Amino acid sequence: MKFSVSPVVRVAVQCKVASDLPKLVEGLKRLAKSDPMVVCSIEESGEHIIAGAGELHLEICLKDLQDDFMGGAEIIKSDPVVSFRETVLDRSIRTVMSKSPNK
């Protein structure tokens, strides 16, 4: 299934009780299988990240994760974050000279 929108809103989640970590990991796997629009990943820092199409989509996913996939275990979530990225598409036609303190 292909979607015209990509998951751009990200939320970090963690267990309120450390002994629920296996439930969280299994719940994230089940959530990713149940909703093809969700991307679940683990950052290098160990944070569990859920990415979705929007804030409402993430709220529904977090409710499903907590109630259906984790059996009601409590989770702590971060504020939603949208990564903003820019890029250069064409080569500039101007030559620009600038001064740098690192000579």
User: Which tens digits make up the pLDDT trace of 15-74?
Assistant: 999 999 999 999 999 999 999 899 999 999 999 999 999 999 999 999 999 999 998 899
Q: Which fold has domain 10-80?
A: Alpha-Beta Plaits (3.30.70)
pTM of the model: 0.75
Beta bridge partners of 9: 52, 82
Using DSSP, state whether 26 is helix, strand or coil: helix
* Longest pairwise C-alpha distance within the chain: 61
User: Which tens digits make up the pLDDT trace of 74-102?
Assistant: 999 999 999 887 888 888 888 888 888 87
| CA gap 18, 21 in Å, rounded | 6
| CA gap 98, 95 in Å, rounded | 10
Residue type at position 66: Q
> Phi-psi bin for 69: left (phi > 0), alpha (psi -120 to 50), beta?
alpha
